Chains A and B, each alone.
Chain A
């Protein structure tokens, strides 16, 4: 049986898809976003360690589909009544597309709502494996300028767009999500490009996720430098301005994420 490398299962989330959800975090990500709040998941799919409170702690656990099902079914009664379900996140879920597909298939077979949270940063054949079993796709759109995207986060914007459009052509509901990272994704020109891109595809709803510092201690555990250490949080007015910007383009805008 396929096994997946899972680095966390969070049992109560209300930010990543509808209702009360369990989030399964899969390890491995091809990108290197400097603001990443799960830096321990970056890189290839393999276990690693960090030093937490003076003790070595291993990151990632190989689990079978049944192992994960056993965990996510514990909250089944909450999905039933809240329209919630299971969200696969990461890392980048498509790094383990085969495992993800198998898991999503089983979850969906139980009548539980499924969602993935993805950057779309892998060749099309990966996302094709999972879309059929996915009810909601939360799709990150970050930096639209091809050069900057490549330099800063290692992303090929053409591939991202291909993946995004592939998702749109599936039966899944697709919600673009924009992390609002000061200086990176928030310049007006970038937001305008995102707005133009999604309206051109007929998208009516977008989620914006204000920058937070919850991941900062992880860089310390990993003994890595964190370039956004001194980046201040966005002010409420700044968030409102961005919200109004999208809404003026007739896109329903939801401020989401931890707040």
Chain B
């Protein structure tokens, strides 16, 4: 270690640390993103060899096969090993999940507007001639298509619900990093060997053992790689020192638990990469890094690790989280644009005694972001009454950079939300952020946090057309009808989600991740079988703002001011406010107040419908016995979900976007500034948004620069809804 510190010191003294990190950043982005078939080919090769074996064993062997055969390299200058692909930011196909969308889009992936990838002609041929024929008829998608009942399919066809994760691995999991950091790989190999010997009939134990053993070998492959590179004549003496240290570390970590901050980061990253090979999923998030890494940080600092070294490896880690991107279908890429890969980190919060858990590492992690500034890791800060003012300042300083990082979460809303769902107090206080803004209990939850999207506005549109010619319509009757319609679709979305849930159980068990989610080893069950302690499914309700605005307009225009008949209004919507309805569009936009302006009459419409939706959803249990939870966030889904809805009474034209965020007001409709927006949003009972919710607040950058108060004050004085 001393030699390594000396190298790092030398870099630091000569001001090379920053430029090294810059070089690594450049390396990431210098080439066009490309599809890599490697995982798909290896996975398929393995599957051909394991015909007839139990699915969980086949999956485990396939993952092990990848770990043993995938090409590896060490990127220039990096101190942490583990790259999913030799070429950075490659798109990984999972034909075992859904081989069809790829075939449909094979010639457009390169040119599509959102998140394009290069796809070489040679690879396309391999795909068409080898992968597609093998997986056709035996993929997870085939299973789902065969199982989806008529009603649920109708809800999909009605464009009310979108089922996610039907074509890729099931992510949105935070594994128990603390456990693997405290125990090391060898511990799991021993434990699982004993368990599988004791209960040979339990395939879960055998499967997990197979992968942990392969993980150990994978570490050793990097040892050889580091030694090989260290012999190169083209590297500096300093780099040689680093590579030799990396080789030793890989050897140690293939069996032992980490002893330093550096080793802990290395094991953390490798664990996350193995998880990626296993499931190729979105959002294997990092959880509370400042908490579980803190003992290692403290120990390393006490043993003399200099701060610049800590910053260098952590910087390396930050950069590597941008090396993994997720290939999505065209439609999915629209909903989740710009690679929200989901290396999400929650900083701060509370510890088990209910005190603030902000520590030196929390500060360091925010501070380091100022010099790296890449989209991942997606930092989040948990805010509560006990947060140190200094840390709140640091959070605001970081937000003022204007990159949208960190997001802030309100403990005082989220913790009671989890308590209301039967989560223990200790676990609720330990919550973290998974995916984009979903909340979860790290290391203990299989939450299907991103299982489906529910388009409120589309349900309203369907209802309006169905009620068009009713003579006895009143506003209350309309709302009652709408709520009934919502109930029906809620039932459908739970059925659809359960089919996807079941499909992952049948086709894509994830034993490695499961072994690192609490209670799975005790239960001897994969998370897809319900092995985890907490088993949720999260469905995002989207379009709330437009819905409230629209209902308010209907209430005033039709039922109170009697300006036009209900059927006439529907005619206007059908005409998309064209022709004689042009003025009507102006009228409904400008002459009726909207959600986001602290007007209780409108805000409570949103609150009422959301509450109804959340409670209705909460009546259902998924196939693992867990509750369905409501969420309210869109990532970028307000664009494609808007495409599914015609003109609406709030003045929105057909196919225009919906309000962004999830809780945010419709673009341009909030007139009274951020405090009024916060007041509106907080009227929606956010305790019910257990799956997570999102409000986007945008401030002018010039003003933020000129006046720190611009952003500090609202955040200081209002713990945002979450």
Seen from chain A, the residues whose Cβ lies within 8 Å of a Cβ on chain B are: 10-12, 14-15, 19-20, 74-75, 77-78, 80-82, 84, 258-259
Contact = CB atoms under 8 A, between A and B. Distances in A.
Contact of A20 (B672, B679, B706, B717): B717
Of B709, B713, B716, B718, chain A has the most CB atoms within 10 Å of the CB of B713
Nearest to B678: A78
Contacts of B713: 14, 19-20, 78, 82, 84
Interface string B529-556: 0000000000000000000000000000
A3 B152 CA distance: 60
A258 B673 CA distance: 15
Contacts of B13: none
Contact of B707 (A14, A20, A77): A14
Given A78-B718, A82-B717, A12 B703 contact: no
B10 interface: no
Contacts of B702: 259
Interface string B575-590: 0000000000000000
B598 interface: yes
Interface in B668-722: 672-676, 679, 702-703, 706-707, 709-710, 713-714, 716-718
Contacts of A78: 675, 713-714, 717-718
A200 to B, nearest CB: 31
A77 B718 contact: yes
State the 6 A-B residue pairs at the shortest beta-carbon distance, nearest first: A12-B673, A81-B717, A82-B717, A259-B706, A14-B709, A11-B672
Contacts, number: 51
B714 A20 contact: yes
Nearest to B598: A74
A1 B707 CA distance: 40
B682 to A, nearest CB: 9
B717 A12 contact: no
Contacts of B706: 259
A77 B717 CA distance: 8
Given A14-B709, A259-B707, A74 B717 contact: no
A11 B675 contact: yes
A123 to B, nearest CB: 36
A12 B672 contact: yes
Contacts of A258: 703
A151 B709 CA distance: 38
Given A12-B673, A19-B717, A81-B718, 10 more contacts: A11-B598, A14-B707, A14-B713, A20-B714, A20-B717, A77-B717, A78-B675, A78-B717, A81-B717, A259-B707
A259 B674 CA distance: 18
A74 B714 contact: no
A258 B707 CA distance: 9
A65 to B, nearest CB: 20
A83 to B, nearest CB: 9
Contacts of B710: 14
Contacts of A82: 713, 716-717
A43 B603 CA distance: 39
A211 B545 CA distance: 38
Contact of A12 (B674, B707, B716): B674
Given A14-B709, A20-B717, A82-B716, A74 B673 contact: no
Nearest to B682: A77
A258 B706 CA distance: 9
Nearest to B672: A11
Nearest to A20: B713
Contact of B676 (A11, A84, A259): A11
B698 to A, nearest CB: 13
Nearest to B708: A14
A8 to B, nearest CB: 11
A84 B675 CA distance: 12
A20 B710 CA distance: 9
Contacts of A74: 598, 676, 679
A15 B673 CA distance: 14
Given A82-B713, A259-B703, A259-B706, A12 B718 contact: no
A12 to B, nearest CB: 3
7 contacts: A10-B673, A11-B675, A12-B675, A12-B714, A19-B713, A74-B679, A259-B703
A78 B707 CA distance: 18
B703 A75 contact: no
B672 A81 contact: no
Contacts of B676: 11-12, 74-75
A12 B260 CA distance: 48
Contacts of A15: 707
Nearest to A12: B673
Nearest to A79: B717
A80 B673 CA distance: 18
Contacts of A10: 673
A84 B713 CA distance: 10
Of A15, A20, A77, A80, chain B has the most CB atoms within 10 Å of the CB of A20
Contacts of A14: 707, 709-710, 713
A189 to B, nearest CB: 29
Contacts of A84: 713, 717
A11 B598 CA distance: 11
A75 B718 contact: no
Nearest to A81: B717
A82 B675 CA distance: 12
A84 B709 CA distance: 12
A19 B713 CA distance: 7
Contacts of B598: 11, 74
Nearest to B714: A20
A20 B714 CA distance: 8
Given A14-B709, A14-B710, A81-B716, A20 B703 contact: no
A136 B286 CA distance: 48
Contacts of A81: 716-718
B4 to A, nearest CB: 45
Contacts of A20: 675, 713-714, 717
A84 B706 CA distance: 19
Of A10, A80, A81, chain B has the most CB atoms within 10 Å of the CB of A81
B718 to A, nearest CB: 7
A11 B717 contact: no
Nearest to A256: B707
A111 to B, nearest CB: 16
B707 A75 contact: no
Contacts of A12: 672-676, 714
Contact of B675 (A75, A80, A259): A75
Nearest to B705: A259
Contacts of A80: 717
Of B676, B707, B717, chain A has the most CB atoms within 10 Å of the CB of B717
A101 B676 CA distance: 26
A151 B703 CA distance: 35
B676 to A, nearest CB: 5
Interface in B7-58: none
A54 B670 CA distance: 23
A14 B712 CA distance: 11
Contacts of A75: 675-676, 679
Nearest to B600: A74
Contacts of B703: 258-259
